[in-house]
Structure 1
Amino acid sequence: MGLRLKHLSRDALRRGARFYLIIALAWVALAVPIAWAADAATPPAEAPPAVAEVPAEPSEMTTGPAGWLAHIIMGLEHEAISDVSMLPDTPSALEREWRSLDRNGSALGALIGLGWVALATCLALLAERLTARGVSWRLRRALRTRIAGPSVGDLLLLLLCDALGLAVFGVVFVYSRHWLMNVGVSLSLVLLAANVLIRWRIFVLIPRIVLRPGAPAARLIDIPEDEARRLSRFLSVVLLAITALVGFGRYGLSDEDSGAPHVIGLVVASAVCALDAWVVIRARCAIEALIRGHRSEGIIAALRGALARAWVPIGLTIVGGLLLFFIFGLSLGLLAYYHAFVSTLGVLLVLMVVERLTERGWHDSEAPHGRAAGVHRFVALSFHRILRAIVLLIAILTLASFWIDALDLTATSAAQAMHTVTAAVGTLFVAYLIWELTRLAIDRNLQDMPGGPKLPGTVDDEEESTPASRLQTILPIMRAFFGVAIGVLAVLIVLSRLGVDTAPLIAGAGVFGLAVSFGSQSLVRDIISGLFYMWDDAFRVGEYIDTGRLKGTVESLGVRSVKLRHHNGPLHTIPYGQLGAVTNLSRDFATIKFNLRLEPGTDIELVRKTAKQIGLAMQQESPEVASEVILPLKMQGIAEVADNAVVFRFKFTARPLKPSWIQREYLKRIYRVFAEKGINFASGALTLQTVPARAGLSGPAAQVIEEALSPRESAGVAPLRAPAASGAA
């Protein structure tokens, strides 16, 4: 299989090569001065030159960091010289290891036995494929025909089918040991093959879950079907090669009489790291998509995006670091730490895959509509978080077991350490579970609560947001209080489990709180004032209040301040201590009064009756208006008599949710009904009358002007006069 670099840019290769060159130069620059310092600090010995090859004991070395590093470098140098001296024996050692896989010690017999093992492997793979396909074919067909994406349950069922197929593979191969041994395959080869092949199938589960060849609906990353199939086959072959090399390397290292165990280990490690680098380059797109995840906003998404873009140099650096770590561990006896570190990387990879699986199932699943959709969303989100917490709990306990084994403790100390870690992590998980259930109970009561400002044009102007209830106003503050209390108690319990005395911490926290209370009196005043405002139920979220200096709709309540959204858009943040007297304009009811200018001489009784009829008619004809109005429209009386108009005052009483909408509906009906009743609005026009001079006029012209200016009763035009008083106040 050829190496394909079509997804790798030349800049990435240059950066990786430059990075490794810098590391090598830094290593040489660091090792040479330390070696010179060690040579200068070590007194000359009179022993023969052959003895100089053996590294000195730690007690004989110079104390301090320089002496410690010099001792390590001398030990590495000694191991390198020993490995070089064993190079001629390496081919014969490899031949002996190969012959040991046959009963009669024959190289050809080992090859024939390997062929029989390959045949058994093919049979086991066929059984695995048939089992996995047979169990999951209904689910795969349903996913292909479903419009919505798969849920978390569907993805977990596919994983369960794959695990069942893996179990069948293991059973078939282990059962095949009987006829394998009957045809002449040695027991050591059967055990080695079983160890390698079962590990290989377990490792292949990870790329199968991510790529899902043949099931694009359940694929965790967005890549074409052909690329998914090619990448899946490539990763399967490479993982088989890596697992076989590691198994053969451990088999060779376990035999101290082979003559060159370190050389075999170094060769195997170099080959494995080369294959790992190939995987980093070949599977670049898939790994970047897996690292990037589903989220596209936020700081975490930005960090993951930057990590995905720099994956190739980071991956090559990790591979090079693993190779150096293995060399150091093999030479200094620290292979246990190397294995723990590699296991940690594997656990992180599994965590990344599980997180992507839960994200895919959560974002692509279809949710119901209506009010039940909100409850379903909160429950599903809490389940998603709890599931991730369970996976994280298992991962932490697994890593703890790996590193406790690497520390090479006694059985009693290891059991005690594991018990302490389990108790601490279990306490944190229980605290997180309590917090999630508490938050779910609170959020379910807050789903109808208005949240955030209403942007212009996003909703109908006639719709008014319903203010939150008193419970909904207090619940966010209670949620914050419960979160802090659960977190503090969990930390104290964990510290006590780890053997830390918490009494001084509690006393110090009390002293610190007293100092903070004296140093920030305004903060304490704001918090206490906010508590009393909540106790008095002065305002709630969604209500319109006036503080005398600022006014607006309550958008959110914090621990020390309230946020008011003005109707023009600005957001005011006011500490509770600076509120003072508060006028709530959205509580209980609202009486709206407005004036209308009508023509002089308008019949007052007709206006009164018409306004009353309008109010009663709208109560009967419009259920929406009737549900909001408490006292219908009526005329209150004459507010003012102007030069060219009579000002009438009207009023009504409604619920404080949308009184402006009720007023607009009344005005539309008044404009139409007044025109039908002959009630005219004042035009605002000003009439001027001028009397021409009569001097110098005589005869017919003077008589015509006199008749034009004199009132004529026969025309039926009454002179302008003030309206008579009416008893309808």
Structure 2
Amino acid sequence: MKRSRFGIAAMVGGFVGEWACAAAAQSAYAADSAFLKVLTERVDFTVQQIPALGRHLWQLPSIIDGRTALLLLGIVVAGLAAEVVARLLLSRLRVRTIDRLVGHSPLRAFGAALMLDIVALVALFIAGRVVLSRMGDPQSIGHLLGQQVFQALFYWRAFNLLFRAFLRPATPEGRIAPVDDATARSLLIALNWVVVLPLIANHLGRALLNTGAPKEVVSAAIILYAPLIAACLLWVVWHWHKEMAAWLSAMVSDRKVGRQLKLDAAHRWWMFGLAFYAAMGAAAVYAALTESGTAARGLGMIETTLLVLLLFETLMHRVTRHIVSELPMAGDVVADCLRLIARLYAIILIADALMVRVLGAMTADEWVAHDRGAKIAAISLVAIYAFWRFLRFRMDSYIAANPLPSADAAADSEDDVKVAASRLRTLMPLLRAMAGSVILVVGGLLVLSELGVNITPLIAGASVFGLAVSFGSQSLVRDVVSGIFFLAEDAFRIGEYVDCSKVKGTVEGFSVRCLKLRHQNGQLHIVPFGQVMHITNFSRDWTVVKFNLAFAPGTDVELLRKTVKKIGTDMMEEPAFKPILMQPLKMQGVVDIKDSSLIVRFKFMARPKNPSAIQRMGVRRMYEQLPKVGIQFATPTMPFTIPGMVPVATATTITPSAAAPAAAAPPAEAPPAPAKAAE
């Protein structure tokens, strides 16, 4: 009975779900059908206005008299002539200014040349206004058309001024864009077309309205010329796509993350350009049909934002491209922060244009709350990024100022080399990685929270995931925890020679899980911290070096002691050994008498930097000074000699000729420092 009830309930639920889906699909289909019907009717109605458009264009000579047409042409001619004359008069001054300032400050050279170009633009403005003032009544058709022509001309030349300031086809010394002369000339033409063609499309419709054409006629005109303008823009994108790709790819830094991905995007930018200008043409046609130009204005705003962002990124690249060091400079950090601010602001403007104007997903009032959250999130992101970059800059500066000891530091025993890194220098790479991870996680959660995303499930999910990982990777957790304690206790530093019970070597690096030891023969041992039972550090604090020398029978032991003490005291006073020696070289006493030789032990205490150099120098000075006071080293003795054979010494003592090398060479398994070879 229970199964039958469940079966009936499932059947009823299935019928209800099917009915709901069918109803939703039917309503969506009905909405789409209604929209298509209205759109088709608008297309038919607008196409029917084409004959009226032809009649209106035929009547334009009677609407615009010859004087008005000449004045309209005069605005363009006078403005352009004034700009050209001003540019020619200021050309020498511009070249001298660029040559004088570009070597010291490229930004000042750019600003000075831009100010001279603005003077030429002011001349265009004055000449155009003078001609416009002769158009008569401000409410007349001629004056309205003249105002349009003047606005379009000034807008075009203002953008041309910016493009010319960055490209400088005639003065490559002051060029901001990283392109050659031929590419600069081609790009200047292309960017002018990108500005002029939308201007023509926009002002043609307004001009028809000002001449008294009905809105239906203007819509018909837009339907006719908007696809043509869009086709021209598509041709511009395709014809100059290689030149623009050269500009974009030249700004991709070799030191940034994702360089290959950025290069691919720079070389394939034309795909986005074709899609964008095709959408602009469709938006213009749609605006003509629906009498709503919101989408077209939104796309125009996106185009302007992207152009301004391109110029800003080019300026930042020109300012910072002289920084060739792998270590980021303070100016590079500031430039990256400014880039982030500009990019985030551009993203907010583009999102506003898309959501409100292009797609119509929400009204302007509904977007206010999202816009406020996006701006707060952007400010938070900029603050977090600036904090991280300056923190990393300080860490990288410290790492660069405190280089790690070289792998062959022990071999350069005669030089003042750095044997071990400081504790902070040892931990700095790990601290940098940990700080970056913490800032990334906390900052990401903060930004998502400002954007309206509920971060509670993310935190809970991360906790559950971390717990599952900890249970499934107990050995990994043990390695990490052991490594944290070893690092906290300062058990080793990079460059120190340690013994980890199973392997020995110089600490070359480490991570949160394992330790990297370089054996003196070249092998690299990677030891997980969980397998390290104890660490014996041979390079910490101090070391006592003991060695034996053999002297001839009858040696005055007291004279030997005093002479060696004098040698040790003199070495303690020398600047080369004073920072290293903690106790002077001295004689401990006679340890053995065998094979007709007196075995004497010597010792000294030094810092574990390079004690082998002190030992070799002490043996050398004893070899030079002891014979002068009558103390002789032991010599090999032979009980008999066979003719034709080289005599073989029967004693195993250290002779003067072999004393220094024997004292310097450690055993096969000994560390580079002589502390291991002391006994």
Does residue 193 of structure 2 align to residue 245 of structure 1? Answer: no
Tell me if 1:549 matches 2:502: yes
Give the superposition deviation at 1:117: 1.0
Spell out the pairing of 1:85-164 with structure 2 (5 A cutoff). Answer: 91-94=54-57, 105-106=63-64, 108-122=66-80, 125=83, 129=87, 140-146=98-104, 150=105, 153-154=107-108, 157=111, 161=115
SS state of the match for residue 403, structure 2? coil
| Structure 2 residue identity aligned to 1:381 | D
CA contact (8 A) 2:483 2:529 kept: yes
CA offsets, 1:459-478, max 9 Å, x none? 99835336443344455544
Inter-partner Cα distance in structure 2 for 1:671 and 1:270? 99
Which residue number in structure 2 is paired with residue 655 of structure 1?
607
Alignment partner, residue 396 of structure 1 = 347
- Name 1:200's counterpart in structure 2: 156
Residue in 2 that maps onto 1:38: none
Kindly indicate whether residue 372 of structure 2 is the aligned counterpart of residue 419 of structure 1.
yes
Q: Distance in 1 between matches of 2:290 and 2:528?
A: 63
Equivalent of residue 360 in structure 1, options 314, 318, 321: 318
Q: Is the alpha carbon distance of 1:245 and 1:668 closer, same or farther for their aligned partners in structure 2, counting shifts above 3 Å?
A: farther
The answer to whether the 8 Å contact 2:230/2:278 transfers is: no
Q: Which amino acid aligns with 1:629?
A: L
Q: 1-side partners of 2:631 and 2:275: how far apart?
A: 89
TM-score (norm 2): 0.73
What aligned pairs does 1:169-208 form with structure 2 within 5 A after superposition?
172=126, 175-176=129-130, 179-182=133-136, 186-208=142-164
**Separation (CA, whole Å) in 1 of partners of 2:46 and 2:410:** 77
Note if 1:384 corresponds to 2:339.
no
Q: Is the 8 A contact 2:39 2:289 kept in 1?
A: yes
CA distance in 2, matches of 1:246, 1:224: 32
Per-residue deviation at 1:546?
2.4
Residues 141-162 of structure 1: per-residue CA shift (max 9 Å, x gap): 333555xxx55x4477458637
Give the 3-state SS of the residue equivalent to 1:199 in structure 2. helix
Question: Is contact 2:102-2:173 (8 Å) kept?
Answer: yes
CA distance, structure 2, for counterparts of residue 452 and residue 83 of structure 1: 80
Relative distance call for 1:175 and 1:453 in structure 2 (3 A) is farther
Alpha-carbon distance change, 113 to 63 in structure 1, aligned in 2, over 3 angstroms: farther
Indicate whether 1:304 and 2:304 are aligned.
Answer: no
| d(CA) in 2 for partners of 1:675, 1:205 | 89
Write the letter of the residue equivalent to 2:351.
A
Is contact 1:253-1:265 (8 Å) kept?
A: no
**CA offset digits 1:332-390 (Å, max 9, x no partner):** 788644553454455345434433432332231699xxxxx98xx54323322222222
Match of 1:428 in 2: 381
Equivalent pair of 1:249/1:268 in contact (CA under 8 Å): no
Other-structure match for 1:514: 467
Percent identity for Structure 1 against Structure 2: 29
Deviations 1:264-315 (CA, angstroms, capped at 9, x unpaired):
3452443354255335434623532432425236762222333444556775
Alignment CA distance shift 1:232-1:292 (3 Å): closer
CA contact (8 A) 2:316 2:335 kept: yes
Q: Which residue of 1 aligns with 2:539?
A: 586
In 2, Cα distance between equivalents of 1:660 and 1:262: 95
Q: Which residue of 1 aligns with 2:8?
A: none
CA gap of 1:569–1:249, structure 2 versus 1, over 3 A, is: farther
1:211 paired to 2:167: yes
Amino acid at match of 2:229: A
Tell whether 2:229 aligns with 1:274. no
516 and 398 in structure 1: CA distance in 2 versus 1, 3 angstrom threshold: same
The answer to whether the 8 Å contact 2:373/2:452 transfers is: no
* Local SS of the residue matching 1:186: helix
Question: Residue type matched to 1:628 in 2?
Answer: I
Q: What is the aligned-residue RMSD (CA, Å)?
A: 4.8
The correspondence for 1:623, drawn from 565, 569, 575, is 575
Pick aligned residue for 2:641 from 666, 689, 701? 689
Which residue is 2:646 aligned to? Answer: none
Residue 558 in structure 1 maps to residue 511 in structure 2? yes
SS of 1:587 mapped into structure 2 = coil
Q: For 1:657, what is the secondary structure of its paired residue?
A: coil
When residues 349 and 641 of structure 1 are mapped into structure 2, their CA distance, relative to the original with a 3 A threshold, is farther
Residue deviations 1:447-495 (CA, integer Å, cap 9, x gap)? 4333596589999983533644334445554444444444444334334
Partner of 2:676 in structure 1? none
Give the distance between the partners of 2:593 and 2:544, measured in 1 at CA: 24
SS of 2:527's partner is strand
**Aligned counterparts of 2:69 and 2:167: Cα–Cα separation in 1:** 34
Q: In the TM superposition, what is the alpha-carbon distance from 1:318 to its structure 2 partner? A: 5.6
Q: Which amino acid aligns with 1:386?
A: C
Contact residue 557 and residue 563 of structure 1 kept, 8 A: yes
Q: Mark the runs of 5 or more structure 2 residues left unpaired by the alignment.
A: 1-21, 644-650, 655-679
Change (3 A) 1:233 1:417: closer
- Could you say if the C-alpha distance between residues 299 and 593 of structure 1 is closer, same or farther in structure 2, counting changes exceeding 3 Å? same
> 1:433-452, aligned counterparts within 5 Å?
433-451=386-404
Structure 1 contact 547–580 (Cα < 8 Å) conserved: yes
The CA distance in 2 between the partners of 1:131 and 1:452, in whole Å, is 62
Q: 1:290 pairs with 219, 236, 248, which one?
A: 248
Mapped to 2, the partners of 1:273 and 1:214 lie a distance apart of 31
Instruction: Calculate the TM-score normalised by the size of structure 1.
Output: 0.69
Q: Quick check: 328-337 or 389-398, which moved more?
A: 328-337
Q: Which residue of 1 aligns with 2:5?
A: none
Q: 1:311 to 1:430 in 2, by over 3 A?
A: closer
Distance of 2:141 and 2:38 partners within structure 1: 42
| Aligned-partner Cα distance in 2 for 1:217–1:593 | 69
Distance 2:300 2:616 in 1: 72
Q: Answer yes or no: is 1:632 the counterpart of 2:587.
A: no
Q: Residue 633 of structure 1: CA displacement?
A: 3.0
Gaps of 5+ in 1: 1-58, 368-372, 692-719, 724-729
> Structure 1 residues 517 and 189 mapped into 2: Cα distance closer, same or farther (>3 Å)?
same
Between 131-140 and 357-366, the greater mean CA deviation after superposition: 131-140
Label 1:386 to 1:312 Cα distance change in 2 as closer, same or farther (>3 A): closer
How does 1:19-38 map onto structure 2 within 5 Å?
A: none
Paired amino acid for 2:609: L
Rounded to whole Å, the distance in 2 between the matches of 1:158 and 1:458 is 57
User: Shift in Å at residue 446 of structure 1?
Assistant: 4.1
- Distance change in 2, residues 1:653/1:318 (3 Å): farther
Amino acid at match of 2:64: S
User: Residue 587 of structure 1: CA displacement?
Assistant: 1.9
Equivalent residues of 2:194, 2:236 under 8 A apart: no
Task: Give the match's secondary structure for 2:401.
Answer: coil
Check whether the contact 1:117–1:180 (CA below 8 A) recurs between aligned residues: no
- State the 1:124 CA deviation: 5.7
Moved more, 573-582 or 449-458: 449-458
Q: Is the 8 A contact 2:410 2:610 kept in 1?
A: no
Residue of structure 2 equivalent to 1:26: none
Quick check: 1:206–1:350 contact (8 Å CA) kept in 2? no
